[in-house]
Amino acid sequence: MKKSMNSQMDLYPEQYELHQQDLIRGPISRRKFFKRMGLGIASFVVVSDVVSAEILNQLDPSLAEDAIASWIHIDESGKITVFTGKVEVGQNIRTSLAQVVAEELFVEVEDIHLIMGDTDLTPYDRGTYGSLTTPQMAPILRKAAASVRELLKETAAKEWSVGKSGLQMEKGIVIHPSNGKRLSYSQLSQGKKLFQQVDSEVAVVPVSSWKVAGTSVPKIEGKSFITGRHKYVSDMALPGMVYGKILRAPANGAKLKNLDTSRAESMEGVTVVRNGDFVGVTAPDSPTANMALAMLEATWDRTPQPSRKDLFGHLKKTARNQPESKSELTDALSQASFKLNQTFTIDYIAHVPLEPRAGVAEWKGDKLTVWTGTQRPFGVQEELQRAFDIPKENVRVIMPDTGSGYGGKHTGEAGIEAAKLAKATGKPVKVTWTREEEFKWAYLRPAGVIDVRSGMDSSGKVTAWEFHNYNSGNAGIQAPYTIAAKHDQFLAADTPLRQGSYRALASTANIFAIESQFNDLAAEIGSDPLGFRLKHLQDERLTNALTACADKFGWDKSRKKDHGFGIACGAVKGGFVATCAEVSVHPETGEVKVIRLVTSFECGAIINPRHLESQVVGCVLQGLGGALFEAIDFKEGEVLNASISGYRVPRFADIPAIEVVLLDRKDLPPAGAGEAPIVAVAPAIRNAIFEVTGKKLNHLPMIPSGSITV
Amino acid sequence: MKINVNGKELTIDVTANPSLLEALREQLDLTGTKYGCGEGACGACKVLVNGTPLPACITPAVTVQGKKVITIEGLETNGELHPVQQAFLEVDAFQCAYCAPGMIINAVALLEKNSNPTKQEIVDAMNGNICRCCTYPQIVEAIYQAGKQLA
Ligand code: FES
Ligand code: FES
């Protein structure tokens, strides 16, 4: 099955970060920006301010200088608005970004208004994923806010004919150095049209004196969520709106053979829309739409499709390349005193965002507006532009704060389906996927097979390491340890089910294999798994994370009877994480209980400790599901457990005692936290089970039934 | 058909036999009650029917005739948040917050019966509600604190 580059990019945008031309095809040039801004004071950021030199080299420099990437504006009333194409899916960046801006402008977080993810109002952004918001957007908004602050001061200084340096600022007011006169931001913005590019050299408030940033500010607009007032896309309704449902194939690869729509069409208020293989119905309410869908009589041609029982063989058989074997590696392996070869297998898992995909679409003439919960509003805008062959300016995509994504909402299916139905019926349409559709037709975290061969010399030094990953991906494939002969390779294969990004991408699979294998090597020579790792580690930050975790956990303490300890670590996207696990295994029944998890995490300077901790805890506990029991079951192209009752996710009762150690590195730029902390959970648990039973569980999920054979 | 929601007598159309969830969301614009699974397995759609938390997704609207339905929108009294809502805010017990309404409704019912539950009792009573963002420890903490408040 060949996929076009485009669909690959939609599903794995992180892996195509160098395809940056899109950044400067963004709609907002300087000229447009100046034209559309009202009066006030603003600082803006252009694309060349935000992207790395490596990427900049591939762009047209004059365009990159011209394309606006974000801005902060103070209008005449003193209202402060930040425009960014990033989106909020529960990672609380609306709050953390407001914090860094408030800090520089000497105002409260509530004074900052963020406009996010709206293709008409915000500058182009390639998407909210890959833990990039905090490392990229936070520092630049910090500078933009500081630049606005300097503009405010300059304006006040001019007004009073004094020097800028003696001016004080507090709570949205500039204060005269000697006579105590005050000018509010609103007064300073009156009648001005003062727009400047961000000053990359501007002094920002040092992290050590942060008062708003670096503290646990509660979620912005938290109240609208706990009162049910916040409108997620699935909650929206437009005047005259109808509800849409889409006819789905019974399995992957099935083609529509015959369709009889007459019974559905005879229902009152129902419209059936057919365009090639796209078939949908609309009705004035969803029970009627569901009924109409059930009335469609379709027959299908099915093609042979793989089943779960053939999955791992299939991935190896269909690999697009041959695994390479390097001669220096073969030599190192043959000279090794101890050798260990293992295979690890990883099942597909689903994101299961609690809010399924939803889209609302409305056409006005040839102009289309789509509201949808996506991590890539501008990507969806392009999908819509392609689907309807209309100019991009005619498509507006708006993304209200959404019911989570975890990497699973990079695409815009529901929005596109709604737009197709809306076009055909001439009415606004809402399409909300059912849980079953979400399991069957969204995309999954890739399954994979990982072969590892390794060798040690007689002193217990790992000397050879060969690592082949089939299908699950490249991310996190490099072992962080110092090993003389090393080779790792990712081999793309044919995936039986639709797959794409997931929190931390393939790192969950690769680090599971790396950390299991490394642990087993330590065991081969009776070495302490912590000491063995430290001996092979050079990276200072990962070393710190490991020792901080082990200290907090009490790694050296003696184990209770039938209890085992396990440890694992990893470095992902600027985040350094280690997890220690304590498990108990019942000596007769083999029932496994995860008793305790301690995770240490370091991602540079901390902007909001409580939200960071919440992200880390969320990652770790979500990781518990993939480690222990989550797996997609499928037969001949059909997902068999497409429901919450059939696919187990972590619940309250599954949650062990959990502790988080946050390492604050005020001297280092902040990195994102929505992904890295997930990676060490599974191997830490696996290694703990190994310690107490000697059993090597090399398959994810490890204990779907809750117990192992003892 | 007449239906009593949040203390008000309202009218809904039951010709298409909607679930209570569909009727609340599509006919009464009470969208705080969420869909998560449609099979009574996630708790996102919980509402109080005569004080008992029920999954509205598998409750046919016609079955609540003559009963009192309370949704998340009906928990405030005179503009004051319910102590459980207040505790959720204070503890910041959510990420995307999509699960929060169902969690809060279920917790309110728990505290009605047992105003000062232990953490284990909270875990047992809440196990039918899923938070996919896994904000579980914070949710337990919020309910625990609300309990302390009410006790
Ligand atoms: S939607 Fe009703 S329990 Fe999940
Ligand atoms: S906060 Fe996202 S599902 Fe609970």
Provide DSSP, A533-560: HHHHB--HHHHHHHHHHHHHHTTTSPPP
Q: Which is the closest atom of ligand 1 to the Cα of B36? A: 1
A428 in reach of chain B (CB within 8 A): no
A523 and A529 Cβ atoms separated by less than 8 Å: yes
Please name the amino acid found at residue A67: A
- Please determine, for residue A34, whether its predicted confidence score (pLDDT) is greater than 60: yes
Q: Does domain A235-301+357-432 have CATH number 3.30.365.10?
A: yes
What CATH number was assigned to the domain covering residues B83-150?
1.10.150.120
Q: Residue A291 and residue A476: Cα distance in Å, rounded?
A: 47
List chain A domain ranges.
5-227, 235-301+357-432, 318-348+444-700
Tell me the per-residue pLDDT of A517-550, one tens digit each, with 9 for 90 and over: 999 999 999 999 999 999 999 999 999 999 999 9
A218 CA: distance to closest CA in chain B (Å): 6
| Residue given tokens 């029944």 in the structure block | A589
Candidates 3.40.50.10860, 2.20.25.90, 3.30.365.10, 3.40.50.720; CATH matching A318-348+444-700: 3.30.365.10
Task: Give the residue among A284, A319, A477, A377 at the shortest CA–CA distance from A84.
Answer: A377
B6 CA: distance to closest CA in chain A (Å): 13
Q: Residue B32 and residue B101: Cα distance in Å, rounded?
A: 6
First to last CA, chain B: 39
Q: Residue B96 and residue A399: Cα distance in Å, rounded?
A: 14
- DSSP conformation class of A481: B
List chain B domain ranges.
2-74, 83-150
Who's near B130: CB < 8 A, 6+ residues apart?
Answer: A354, A644, A649, A651, B36, B41, B42, B43, B44, B99
User: Would you say the CATH fold of B83-150 matches that of B2-74?
Assistant: no
Size of interface A-B (CB pairs under 8 A): 177
Q: Residue B53 and residue B69: Cα distance in Å, rounded?
A: 10
Tell me the per-residue pLDDT of A461-504, one tens digit each, with 9 for 90 and over: 999 999 999 999 998 999 999 999 999 999 999 999 999 888 77
Provide DSSP, B10-39: EE---TT--BHHHIIIIIS--TTS--S-SS
- What pLDDT score was predicted for residue A8? 46
Q: Residue A31 and residue B147: Cα distance in Å, rounded?
A: 58
Tell me the per-residue pLDDT of A146-158, one tens digit each, with 9 for 90 and over: 999 999 999 999 9
Q: How many helices (H) and strands (E) does chain B have?
A: 5, 5
Please report, in tens digits, the pLDDT of each residue of chain B (151 residues total).
999 999 999 999 999 999 999 999 999 999 999 999 999 999 999 999 999 999 999 999 999 999 999 999 999 988 899 999 999 999 988 888 999 999 999 999 999 999 899 999 999 999 999 999 999 999 999 999 999 988 7
Q: Which residue of B has its CA nearest to A354?
A: B36
User: Would you say the CATH fold of A235-301+357-432 matches that of A5-227?
Assistant: yes
User: By three-state DSSP, how is residue A584 classified?
Assistant: strand
Candidates 1.20.1250.20, 3.50.50.60, 2.60.40.10, 3.10.20.30; CATH matching B2-74: 3.10.20.30
Contact criterion met (CB < 8 Å) for A228 and B17 = no
**Nearest ligand to the CA atom of A649:** 2
Residues in contact with ligand 2 (CB, 6 Å cut-off) = A 90, 354, 404; B 94-99, 131-133, 135
Cα A597 to Cα A522, A554, A582, A661, A686: the distances in Å are 21, 11, 7, 11, 12
**Assigned CATH topology for domain A5-227:** Aldehyde Oxidoreductase; domain 4 (3.30.365)
CA A71 to chain centre: 24
Other beta carbons within 10 angstroms of residue A21's beta carbon come to 11
Contact criterion met (CB < 8 Å) for B96 and A229 = no
CA A489 to chain centre: 24
Q: Which residues of B touch A658 (CB under 8 A)?
A: 137
**Nearest ligand to the CA atom of B44:** 1
Q: What is the ipTM of this complex?
A: 0.96
A665 in reach of chain B (CB within 8 A): no
Task: Give the residue among A408, A420, A404, A413 at the shortest CA–CA distance from A372.
Answer: A413
Confidence of residue A32 (pLDDT cuts 50, 70, 90): confident
Q: Which residue of B has its CA nearest to A230?
A: B32
